[in-house]
Chain A
Amino acid sequence: MRIADTTRFRNIQDQVARAQSQYTDAARQASSGLRVGAPSDDPVAAAQALRVSHSMARTASFRNTIASVRGDVELAESTLAGAEDMMQRLHDIALGASSGTLDPKEQSALATEVTQLKEQLLAFANQKGSMGYLFGGTKTQTAPFPGGAFIGDDLDRTAEVGQGVVMTVSTSGAKAFTAAGGRDIFSDVDALYTAITTDNKASLLASVNLMEAGSRQILGARAEAGIKMARLDAADATHEQMGVTLATQRHGLIEADPMQAYSALAQMQQQLEAAVTVSKNLIDILAATTAALR
C-alpha cells in the first residue's frame, strides 16, 4: 500500500497515544492499589464487591450490636450472682432461726439483717445497665421493683446478632424475682421477716425451703444469662472470622496485587519508551529521504 505522510504521522500518534493510555492506567493501578477504579474496569467484580462490602458492613454492625449488648448481659449475670449470695445468707438465717429459741436481742438483730438483705436484694433487682434497668423487660426507664412489687414486664428485648439470628438479650427480672419464675422472692423475704419477729417456728421452717427455692430460681436466671454470654461470644468469634474472609474476598475482587501492578507498570513504561523511540526513528527516516533528495 502507498503510505502517505499523514498516514505515517497518524500511525505514530495513535501508537504513542495507546502506549501512553496503557501506561497511565498501569500507573493508576499501582498508585491507588485498585484494579477496579471504576465500575467499567470490571463490571462483574465491581457489582460483586458492592455485595461483599455490604456483607462486611452487616458483619461489622452485628459485632457492634454484640459489643453493646454483651456488657449488660454480663452485668445481669454478675448482679444475679450477688443476689444469689443474698439468698444463701437469708437461707442460713432462716435455718438458724428455725432451729433454736431466739432471745429478743438476737431476734431483733436477725430482723435488721433480713431488712438490710432485702434492701440489698432490691438494689440488685433494680440494677441499671447501659440501656436502662436490667430486669424490667422492655420497661427499662422505670425501676422494676420500686418497693418489692414488680411493675416491669416479662417481654424479651432482642437483638440481631447474625444474619437471621435474633436472640433475647435481656434477662427476665420477672422470672428471676417474681411468681412468674415460681416464687415471688420479695414476698417470701417479707414472710421470713414476719416469722422472725413473731418467732413462728412453722413459718421459719417453711421459709428455709422458700429461701432455698428462691436461691435456685435466681441461679436458674443467672445460668441463662451465662448461656447468652457464651452465645454472644461464639457469634462474635464467627463474625470476626467472617470479616477476615470477606475482606480477603473484596481484596481479590477489586484490589491490585502490588507485585503484579508494579511489574505491569514497568512493562508499560518500557512499551511507551519503545513507541517513542520507534516514532523518532520513523520521523528520522522521513527527514533522511527528504535530505537525500535535496
Chain B
Amino acid sequence: MGITNLLGLARDALTAQGFGLDVTGQNIANANTPGYVKRTAMLETRVAGTITYGGVGVTGIARSTDRFLDARANEAGSFSASAKSRDGALSQIEALFNDSTGTGLNDSVEALFGSFSSLATNPNDPTARVATLASADNFAARINQTAGQLTAQRADIITQAQATAVQVTETAAQIAKLNAKISEAEIGGADGSDLRDQRDKLVGDLSQKINIHVFTDGAGKLVISAAGATLVEGNNAAGMAVTTSASGAMQIQVQRSNGTTFDVTAQTNAGTLGGLREARETDLVAASQKLDQFAYDVATAVNTQHAAGVGLDNVGARNLFTVSGPTGAAASIKLNAAMIGHPEYVAAASSSAELPSGSTNAIALARLADGNVATGNTRTPIEAYSDLVGDIGQRKMAAAQNVNLRSAIFSQAQSMRESVSGVSMDEEMISLSRYQRAYEAASKLFRTADELLANLIREI
C-alpha cells in the first residue's frame, strides 16, 4: 500500500467512470435508433493475485436482451403484418362490391330485370326492346369488369409477394453475413454489440415478411427456419421465390444455393407473405367462385326462359347470353352475338299466336328476379348477390378486427421487449449524473494523491 497505489486507483477509477459515461452517451445517442438495445457498462473490482488491490476494472458491455421476449415480439409482429396485408387486399376486393358508393353490381342486375318489366308492358315497342338488349349487354359487361379486376388483383398480389420474397432473400443473406462477422469479431475479442443489434433488427424485419423460427447453434450463430424450411444456417443463406403453379395458385419456395427447392406454401401462415397468400388463395378465390356461380346461374335462367319464347320474327330457342362455366362464367358472360343489333329477336311473346304484342314470356323473364334460380335453385338473383356482398363484408370486417387485435398484441409484446432492452431517458440522465460525480471524485482522488506525493518529494 502506498501513494503510487493511490495514483493507480485513481487512474483505474477515471478509466472506469469514463467508460460508464461513454456507454451512457451511446444509450442517449441511440434512444431512437431502431433495433438498438440498451447497454450497461460492466465494472468489477480488479483482482491482482492474492493481494487486495482495490482497483476497478472494465469487463465489457452488457446488452440487455431477452431471447424469449424477442421471439414473442417477432412472432406477434409476424401475425400483425399478415393481418395487415390481408386486410389491405380485402379492402380492394370490398371496393368492387360497395353498392353504397355505386361500384357494385346491384344497379346492373336491377336494370336487367327492370328492362324485362318494361318490355312486358311494351312488348312491341322498339325502344323497350333496344333497352332490354342494352341492359343485358351492360349486365354482362359489369360482371366482366368485376371479374377482370379480381383477376388483376390476383396478379397484383403475386407481384407484391415476389417483391417481398426478394426482401426475404436479401435479409437472409445479410443475417448470414452478420453471423460470420459477429463470430469473427468476438473471437478476436472485440465487442459485437452493434453487429448483434443489426442482426436482431434484421431478424425482426424478416419476421414481418414470413413466419420464422430462430435457434442459436453451438457457435452462437443464428439458425433461422422460414415456414418450416431452413433459410439461414451459420454463414449460409437460402433464397425465397414466389411463383404460380399451372393452375394459377401461389407457390412460395425456399431455394438452396445447391439448387434444391422446398415448397413452403402450405406452411406460410404469417408475415406479409402469409397474409397475401390467405387473401389470394382463400378470399379472392371465394369471391371469384361466388361471382362465377352468380353470373352462371342468372345467365342460364335467363337463357332458358328467353329460349322458351319467340321473337317478333316468330323464331324461338335463342339465348340472350353466351356463357361457359360455372368456372370462369363471370369472365365469359356476353350478350349473345346473334342478338346484337336485333332487338326484334328479343322473345317477349311465348308463342307465335300472341305475336306481336303478347308479353307472357317477358313477364316470365321479369319474374325470374323473384325466382329461386341461383345457388342451386335456393336463392333469387339478388339474394345470391347479397350473399356474395355479405360474405366479402364479413371477411373484411373479420380482417379489420384481426388487424386491431394483432396490432394490440404486437404493441404489448414490443413494450415487454422494450421494458428490457429499450432506452429510458430518465435512467440515462441518472446514470449520467452518477458517472459524472464518480469521475469528479476520481479526479479529486488523483489530485490528492498527487499533492501527497509532491509534499513528500519536497520534504525529501
Contacts and interface: CB of A to CB of B under 8 A. Distances in A.
A54 interface: yes
A230 B153 CA distance: 55
A1 interface: yes
Contacts of A293: 429-430, 432-433
A259 interface: no
A2 B363 contact: no
Interface of A: 1-7, 10-11, 14, 34, 36-44, 46-48, 50-51, 53-54, 57-58, 61-62, 64-65, 68-69, 131-132, 138-141, 153, 155, 157-160, 163-164, 166, 254, 286, 289-290, 293-294
24 contacts: A2-B420, A5-B32, A40-B94, A41-B393, A46-B386, A47-B387, A53-B99, A53-B110, A54-B382, A61-B113, A61-B114, A65-B120, A68-B121, A131-B124, A131-B357, A132-B357, A138-B353, A141-B356, A153-B354, A158-B360, A159-B363, A160-B363, A286-B425, A290-B429
Contacts of A47: 386-387, 389-390, 393
Label chain B's interface by main secondary structure.
helix
Contacts of A43: 389-394, 397
A22 to B, nearest CB: 12
Label chain A's interface by main secondary structure.
helix
Contact of A38 (B387, B393, B429): B393
B419 A158 contact: no
Contacts of B355: 138
B331 interface: no
Interface size grouping (class) on chain B: 35 or more
Given A50-B106, A286-B425, A139 B387 contact: no
A14 B359 CA distance: 63
Given A5-B424, A51-B382, A140 B366 contact: no
B393 A46 contact: yes
Given A5-B423, A139-B356, A164-B370, A39 B390 contact: yes
B427 to A, nearest CB: 8
Contacts of A3: 415, 419, 424
B370 A289 contact: no
A10 B414 contact: yes
A264 to B, nearest CB: 19
Interface of B: 31-32, 38, 90, 94-95, 97-101, 104, 106, 110, 113-114, 117-118, 120-122, 124-125, 349, 353-360, 363, 366-367, 369-370, 380, 382-383, 385-387, 389-394, 396-397, 400, 411, 414-416, 418-426, 429-430, 432-433
B363 A140 contact: no
A141 B124 contact: yes
A159 B357 CA distance: 12
A50 B99 contact: yes
A160 B359 CA distance: 10
A39 B383 contact: no
B429 A39 contact: no
B425 A57 contact: no
A38 B106 contact: no
Nearest to B387: A47
A62 B389 CA distance: 26
A140 B423 contact: no
